[in-house]
Amino acid sequence: MDLETLLSFNWGVMMPEFIILGVATLLSLIDIFMPKQSSRRPLAWIALVGILVALISLIGLFDTKVTSILHDTYRLDSFSKAFKLLFLVGAALVILLAESFKPAEGMKENRGEFYYLFLAALLGAMMMASSGDLITLFVGLELLSISSYILAGIRKNHLPSNEAAMKYVINGGISTAITLFGMSYLYGLTGSTNLREMGGVMSQTIDGQFLYLYGLAFFMIVVGLSFKLATVPFHMWAPDVYQGAPTPVTAFLSVVSKTAGFVILLRILLSLFLVTPGDEIGALNFLEKNKIFISCLAAITIIVGNVIALRQKNVKRLLAYSSIAHAGYLLVPIATLGYFTFDAIWFYLVAYLFMNLGAFAVVQYVSDKTGSEEISDFAGLYQRSPVLAVAMGIFILSLAGIPGTAGFIGKLNIFMGTFAVDPGHYVLAAIMIAGTVISYFYYFGIMTQMFFRPSYYLAMTEKIKVPVTLMIVLIVCVVGTISFGVAPGAALDFLHQYFGNFEDFMQ
């Protein structure tokens, strides 16, 4: 590629990625040359400013029409803009969590590394959202994954953190291999790695043997990405990693990384398999013909995630199984595949971002104070700090799907979507209701501890003073959880005004 061709590209559409890359590079250089005894906390503010500047540059691109550069390997469309917005908002809140994180051991000497590795993972997620090619999609996935492996084990002298990193690397490596094997089938059958070109070839396929091989590729890609999403039965790494990783990393994995997993799943399934015939007759497309597999995956994930959460005593393990169940809810609109699939998934991820990050903010503060992460640590929290207890109560009500919260509207959108297609997915709707009812038992168990149990910890009997950065996270998350629950139309109107109905996704 000559210089003239390079200069002809509209590089401005990649400005958010360039900003994150530049700030990550700057932080790594500052960390190297700073004296070892100097505090690395100021780096958090540099990282936060970088994320906010990237967010502003992304907002400036909202009115930009669909743009494709680098031979269609990078696409700026409504899909990428909508999900990058989630990534950047979630990342800004996680950075604020990390700034106030004070573990008993193992983070002081690695705190500088944390920030630029975190930005590298964010960059990988953003690249995935804009990828128009399997190669850039995979590079973004690996940038996110490898950074996440290191972040999970960044407390080098903390045994649970070591165990979390080891299990995450092994399971992540297996999932990557399976996903890549499925992608290699698609490349071999279509002769291209570009998603649009591949979709064009696959849409013309009528040979039964080719369709069978597409089925194998579909199976391997869904299985490989199911590890990333922590759906049952590929969820075994999630509870241990969530428990062992530093709390800000756990929050990042549960929100930003999970959102990135759904981004790559949607990009591949809707760009390729939605246009592929389901059989030689071609009466149904491939996804309609095989949606029973996604439906079964969603159903078993909702059931197992909620049932096993009932037995958890560690609050981070409980939230891990809760996160598994929520991945099941998010698979439902992909299985039903109606007109409102994009809207339902995007809104649910917005609601999940606020309620889950807010819950982890409270968990981080309580665990820092008590030195433990047991659910019993929340006993008497209302007497010690009504602000923390009420905020946590709001997040739990939203996670449980109680009316008046964003979580309720998110689940309602998905639930109504099961009836908006013909034939309706009544079994999935029933399983969603059953899973939600089961979740009340373990969510309200935390509420019982906070409001109706006396405190057992001396550290929690003193007056609690919440750090400023943590308070900012709580305020943003509470406002988001309540406002989108009371006025959900604001989020959906914003989505349709700036991103349309994702009609440019297939262009």
Domain ranges, residue 501: 293-507
Integer CA distances (angstroms), 119 to 91, 116, 248, 402, in order? 8, 5, 13, 34
Question: Which pLDDT value is given to residue 211?
Answer: 85
* CB hemisphere CA count around 318 (13 angstroms): 24
Work out the mean pLDDT of the chain and round it to a whole number: 85
Q: Which of 270, 266, 220 is nearest to 128 (CA)?
A: 266
Q: Which residue has the higher pLDDT, 340 or 57?
A: 57
| pLDDT for the residue 458 | 44
What is the pLDDT at residue 183? 92
500: confidence class by pLDDT, cuts 50, 70, 90:
low
Alpha-carbon span 140 to 142, nearest angstrom: 5
- pLDDT score of 503 more than 60: no
Q: How far apart are CA 438 and CA 452, in angstroms?
A: 21
Two tokens at 24? 């990550």
- Tell me how far apart the alpha carbons of residues 328 and 304 are, in angstroms, rounded to a whole number: 10
- Residue 240 domain-assigned? no
Instruction: Please determine, for residue 399, whether its predicted confidence score (pLDDT) is greater than 60.
Output: yes
Q: Is residue 298 part of a domain?
A: yes
**Residue pair 504/64 in contact by the 8 Å Cβ criterion:** no
pLDDT, position 312? 87
Instruction: Encode pLDDT of 305-337 as tens digits.
Output: 999 999 888 889 999 999 999 999 999 998 888
Residues with Cβ within 8 Å of 249's Cβ and at least 6 positions away in sequence, in order, are 148, 151, 152, 154
Total domains in the fold of the chain: 1
**Structural domain includes residue 239:** no
Residue 26's Cα: distance from chain center in Å?
26
* Helix/strand number for the chain, H first, E second: 21, 2
Cα(396)–Cα(446) distance, rounded to whole angstroms? 8
Instruction: Read off the pLDDT band of 142 (50, 70, 90).
Output: very high
Q: Is residue 451 part of a domain?
A: yes
Q: What share of the chain is helix, strand, coil (3-state, %, to 5)?
A: 75, 5, 20
pLDDT digit string (tens) for 341-356? Answer: 888 888 999 999 999 9
Each residue's pLDDT tens digit, 87-113: 999 999 999 988 887 765 556 656 778
Average pLDDT in the 111-116 region?
83
User: Which residues, at least 6 apart from 48, have a Cβ–Cβ distance to it below 8 Å?
Assistant: 92, 95, 96, 99
Give the separation between CA 389 and CA 299, rounded to whole angstroms. Answer: 32
Inter-residue contact 187 to 134 (CB < 8 Å): yes
Residue 151 and residue 73 in contact, taking contact as beta carbons nearer than 8 Å: no
Query: pLDDT-derived band of residue 496, with 50, 70 and 90 as boundaries?
Result: confident
- Provide the token pair at 97: 């969590």
Q: Is residue 394 part of a domain?
A: yes
For residue 443, is it within any domain?
yes
Show the CA angle centred on residue 496, arms to residues 490 and 502, nearest 5°. Answer: 145
The pLDDT of residue 276 is above 60: yes
DSSP 355: H
User: Which three-class secondary structure state does DSSP give residue 352?
Assistant: helix
E strand intervals along 138-209? none
- In this prediction, residue 301 carries a pLDDT of 93
pTM: 0.92
Determine the 3-state secondary structure of 402 from DSSP.
coil
Tell me: pLDDT of 461 over 60.
Answer: no
Show Cβ contacts of residue 397 under 8 Å, excluding neighbours closer than 6 positions.
404, 405, 407, 443
Residue 487: partners with Cβ closer than 8 Å, 6 or more residues away: none
Q: Is residue 489 part of a domain?
A: yes
- Torsion, CA 252, CA 58, CA 45, CA 394, rounded to 10: -50
- Per-residue pLDDT at 476: 92
Does residue 345 fall inside a structural domain?
A: yes
What's the pLDDT at 140?
92
